[in-house]
Each structure stands twice: as C-alpha cells, then as structure tokens.
Amino acid sequence: MRSAAMVLGIIGGLIAMLVGFFSFGYTEAIERFGEIDGLAEQVGNVDLVRIGAFLAPLLAIAGGAMAKIRALWGGGLMLVSAAAMYYVFGFNVFTMFPIGFCALGGILALAAGQPDEPKAHF
C-alpha cells in the first residue's frame, strides 16, 4: 500500500503542477493585459490562487515521496494537498484527477498502519 500511495501522490502532484502553472499564469496574464468582458475575468482572490498553485503540488509530491518510509506524515501531506486543491480550485474536469490521486494516496498511506520496516509512524 505504501508503494501505491507513493506513486499516486507523485502523479497527483505532477498533474497538480500543470493546474498550478495554468492558474498562476492566468492570474498573471489577466493582471498584465487586463480583463476581456465575458471571456476572461480576474479571479476573486488572486493571492489565494497563487499560493495554492505553489503549495498544493509541493505538498502532494513531498507526501508521495515520504509515503514509503513515513506513511503517516506522507498521507497527511497528501490529504492536506487534496483539500487545498479542492478549496482553491474547486472540483472540475481539470482538478478531479489530482484531487482523487492525492486523496486516495493519502488514505492508502494512512491505512498502512503496520510499517513494512520495523519503524513506527512517529
């Protein structure tokens, strides 16, 4: 289960990076070139989107990388990343897979209660 959690966290984080690049770039383009009525308008909270675009993929990849050795910490980071993506970007066609991968990876990491190695969660 830890290996599956690791792979899901890293893949979810990589897909979240694409969403983050687009979101950050969109806010920057609208700020620089202005809004287009009915087509492109600035988001309500630019700083929240930019912080989420950076932190959510970072937490997912870090959680996936930690899931094999420190499953509790890695699972927690992946669940926080999934919650952050849902809060910042919402659930839509672009975010459903990174949110799903990170949430499932976090659940699998937390469910791996018995460590593979003789090392406890804490």
- Asked if the structure places residue 80 within a domain, the reply is yes
- Asked if the structure places residue 89 within a domain, the reply is yes
- Asked if the structure places residue 121 within a domain, the reply is no
The C-alpha atoms of residue 103 and residue 98 are separated, in whole angstroms, by 8
pLDDT at residue 39 is higher than 80: yes
For residue 33, what are the contacts with CB-CB under 8 A and spacing of at least 6? none
Residue 1: predicted pLDDT? 86
Percentage of the chain beyond pLDDT 90 is: 75
* pTM of this structure: 0.87
Q: Which residue has the higher pLDDT, 121 or 52?
A: 52
**What is the number of domains present in the chain?**
1
- Asked if the structure places residue 38 within a domain, the reply is no
Q: 115 falls in which pLDDT band (50, 70, 90)?
A: low
The C-alpha atoms of residue 32 and residue 1 are separated, in whole angstroms, by 46
- Asked if the structure places residue 15 within a domain, the reply is yes
Amino acid identity of residue 90, one-letter, is G
- Asked if the structure places residue 119 within a domain, the reply is no
Residue 14's domain comprises 2-32+44-111
Residue 121: predicted pLDDT? 58
Q: 118 falls in which pLDDT band (50, 70, 90)?
A: low
- Asked if the structure places residue 49 within a domain, the reply is yes
- Asked if the structure places residue 39 within a domain, the reply is no
At 84-102, the pLDDT tens digits run 999 999 999 999 999 999 9
Name the one residue in this structure whose structure tokens are 């050795």: 69
pLDDT at residue 112 is higher than 90: no
